[in-house]
């Protein structure tokens, strides 16, 4: 906190009827802030009728200054600190109104309640932030500027029907273009400094986030880092779909996590599970009953996987829109194992190329030591997608993807993206870069270095199977066609068992399965 603003002195009163003895009145606590009204012209927001059942048992108003970012920040922080001392039932209530503030620090045992009608806006002045050095594993999206921070505390809750507004567009430059995207692209360009992640949870235990809305994050939205027993329920994230790196929830080195009933819209990965270089393994995560929209991955694991990621369950989710509905990728030499994904439906018909409904990949990325990650024991079932892209399971030579089951997978193609056209036009680190032979292959299912793949009841529904082999019918979107010759599967260095009679090529007379040093058994 800036030295120009000093925390008001604590004023206490004694409630003789209370066995707890000395307490602090919220009126007394906030009186210094109200006194400042005499020398400033800004309004003060009041909330009446909130019963903060502290030791005094009194119903109290809760004024918050709105004329000055640092005064507002200090006032809300004082409420949090009072709740941490056991006052007001351990609750800090932000009343209806619009407030701009900088970093707030959560405390053990506190419930921060953001009331319906309350909007907390992120300050765009970095001088307002009280920052401390943090590890970031070299990731520019992990900055020391946050809106709400919790560090090494436990048993706290952030809740309410109010809104946290990241004011993301004030941290970005206009959409840009380059030789890969054309003259003018769709995505904004981020600046060096941003409030990212908006909510930073570090080394915390028994945390609950529920019901509130976050909108317009300028970077990552929620980053739980090495936390245990985390529950995220019923929150809404409403970010710009073309905001740069506007991830939703980045779990990093966390354990025993339950995410449910959330509605997420993100320009980058919506829910992504990591184990970064400065973290530890991530274990025991359940994600269920969410509706998700993303211009990247809706449900993902990796790519930053220095440690193990294991025992993960994604179930009962809808991908309203996505570039990749399911993504499991390894850029580092960790292990991802024991993953169950079921009851997923959605659409990957994005405004940008390289659509894939399911994508698994092991690649070198920037590593020069030759080490590759391990990916094994993955089950995907009851998956229904409207797509124009492919299912890709790829690993660089020297690595294998082991023990994958695809069961009851339905792919419906209203049109088809031509990888031979789009892959070579786009630059992406998420396009099987260590499996160059696979990148532009025309097939619904593309596999490279996969061992013990089992496919049961996978179906492809192509736009017009009546056209003869080799015919291409154009679509108004560049690189997308109404019809295109697509094999059912393309396999290299792969062993697989397939029982899927409805997994077909897109046109009669086209070879169904193409094999290169592969052993594929087909039982229709």
Got the DSSP string for 21-55?
A: -EE--HHHHHHHHHHGGGT----EE---S-----T
Q: pLDDT at residue 97 above 60?
A: yes
Q: pLDDT at residue 13 above 50?
A: no
Mean pLDDT of 105-112: 98
Q: How far apart are CA 225 and CA 153, in angstroms?
A: 12
Q: Outline where DSSP puts E strands in 108-162.
A: 111-114, 118-122, 148-151, 154-160
Scanning the structure block, which residue is given the tokens 């779990």? Answer: 251
Specify which residues 101 forms β-bridges with: 122
Q: How far apart are CA 235 and CA 258, in angstroms?
A: 13
The reported pLDDT for the residue numbered 178 is 54
What are the distances in angstroms from CA 41 to CA 35, 37, 177? 12, 7, 45
Scanning the structure block, which residue is given the tokens 């696979």? Answer: 438
Q: How far apart are CA 197 and CA 437, in angstroms?
A: 37
| pLDDT tens-place string over residues 396-411 | 999 999 999 999 999 9
Band the pLDDT of 132: cuts 50, 70, 90. confident
What are the distances in angstroms from CA 474 to CA 157, 272, 349, 420? 53, 35, 16, 14
Domain segments of the chain as ranges: 1-101
Band the pLDDT of 53: cuts 50, 70, 90. very low
Band the pLDDT of 131: cuts 50, 70, 90. confident
CA angle at 322 for the pair 318 and 324, rounded to the nearest 5°: 105
Band the pLDDT of 414: cuts 50, 70, 90. very high
Q: pLDDT at residue 183 above 70?
A: no
Q: pLDDT at residue 104 above 60?
A: yes
Range of lowest pLDDT (44-53, 88-97, 509-518) = 44-53
456 compared with 20, residue with greater pLDDT: 456
User: Are the C-beta atoms of 222 and 248 separated by less than 8 Å?
Assistant: yes
| pLDDT tens-place string over residues 478-514 | 789 988 999 999 999 999 999 999 999 999 999 999 9
Helices and strands (DSSP H and E) totals, the chain? 3, 43
Q: pLDDT at residue 351 above 90?
A: no
Residue 179, Cβ density class (10 Å: 0-12 exposed, 13-18 middle, ≥19 buried): exposed
The reported pLDDT for the residue numbered 211 is 99
Residue 513 makes CB contacts below 8 A (sequence gap 6+) with 487, 488, 489, 490, 491, 498, 520, 522
* Pair of tokens at residue 253: 């080195």
Neighbours of 17 (CB within 10 A): 8
Scanning the structure block, which residue is given the tokens 């921060």? Answer: 112
Q: How far apart are CA 331 and CA 224, in angstroms?
A: 21
The reported pLDDT for the residue numbered 100 is 98
Q: How far apart are CA 83 and CA 89, in angstroms?
A: 7
| pLDDT tens-place string over residues 222-274 | 999 999 999 999 999 999 999 999 999 999 999 999 999 999 999 999 999 99
Band the pLDDT of 4: cuts 50, 70, 90. very low
Q: How many CA atoms lie within 13 A of 142 on its CB side?
A: 21
DSSP 399-423: --EEEEEEEEEEEE-SSEE-HHHHG
Whose CA is closest to 270, among 314, 242, 300, 244?
A: 300
**Mean pLDDT, the chain, whole residue set:** 87
Work out whether strand 172-173 and strand 189-190 pair parallel, antiparallel, or are unpaired. antiparallel
């Amino acid at each position: 906190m800036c030295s120009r603003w000093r925390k008001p002195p604590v004023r206490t009163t004694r409630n003789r009827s209370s066995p707890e003895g000395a307490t602090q009145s919220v009126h007394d606590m906030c009186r210094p802030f109200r006194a400042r009204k005499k020398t400033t012209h800004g309004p003060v927001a009041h909330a009446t009728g909130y019963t903060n059942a502290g030791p005094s048992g009194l119903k109290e108003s809760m004024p918050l200054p709105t004329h000055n970012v640092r005064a507002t920040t200090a006032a809300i922080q004082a409420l949090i600190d009072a709740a941490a001392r056991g006052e007001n039932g351990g609750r800090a209530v932000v009343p209806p109104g619009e407030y701009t503030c900088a970093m707030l620090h959560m405390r053990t045992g506190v419930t921060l309640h953001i009331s319906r009608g309350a909007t907390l806006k992120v300050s765009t002045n970095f001088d307002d932030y009280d920052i401390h050095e943090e590890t970031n594993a070299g990731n520019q999206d992990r900055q020391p500027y946050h809106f709400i921070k919790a560090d090494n505390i436990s048993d706290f809750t952030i809740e309410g029907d109010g809104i946290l507004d990241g004011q993301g567009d004030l941290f970005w430059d206009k959409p840009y273009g380059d030789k890969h995207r054309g003259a003018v692209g769709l995505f904004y360009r981020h600046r060096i400094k941003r409030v990212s992640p908006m909510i930073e949870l570090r080394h915390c235990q028994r945390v609950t986030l529920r019901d509130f809305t976050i909108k317009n994050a300028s970077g990552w939205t929620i980053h739980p880092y090495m936390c245990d027993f985390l529950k995220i329920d019923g929150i809404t994230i409403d970010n710009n779909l073309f905001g740069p790196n506007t991830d939703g929830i980045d779990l990093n080195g966390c354990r025993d996590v339950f995410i449910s009933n959330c509605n997420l819209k993100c320009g980058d990965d919506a829910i992504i599970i990591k184990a970064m270089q400065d973290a530890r393994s991530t274990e025991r995560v359940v994600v269920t009953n969410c509706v998700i929209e993303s211009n990247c991955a809706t449900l993902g694991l990796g790519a930053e996987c220095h440690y193990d990621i294991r025992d993960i369950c994604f179930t009962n989710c809808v991908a309203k829109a996505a570039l990749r509905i399911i993504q499991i990728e390894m850029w580092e030499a960790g292990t991802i194992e024991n993953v169950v994904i079921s009851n997923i439906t959605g659409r990957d018909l994005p405004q940008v190329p390289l659509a894939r409904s399911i994508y698994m990949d092991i690649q070198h990325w920037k590593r020069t030591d030759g080490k590759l990650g391990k990916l094994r024991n993955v089950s995907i079932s009851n998956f229904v997608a409207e797509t124009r892209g492919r299912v890709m399971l790829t690993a660089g030579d020297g690595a294998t993807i082991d023990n994958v089951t695809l069961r009851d997978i339905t792919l419906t193609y209203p049109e088809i993206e031509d990888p031979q056209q789009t892959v070579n036009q786009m630059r992406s680190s998420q396009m099987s870069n260590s499996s160059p032979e696979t990148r532009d292959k025309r097939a619904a299912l593309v596999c490279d270095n996969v061992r013990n793949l089992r496919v049961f009841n996978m179906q492809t529904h192509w736009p017009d199977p009546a056209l003869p082999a080799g015919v291409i019918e154009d679509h108004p979107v560049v690189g997308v066609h109404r019809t295109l010759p697509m094999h059912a599967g393309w396999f290299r260095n792969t062993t697989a068992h397939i029982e899927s009679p409805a997994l077909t090529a897109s046109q009669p007379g086209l070879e169904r399965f193409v094999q290169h040093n592969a052993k594929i058994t087909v039982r229709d």
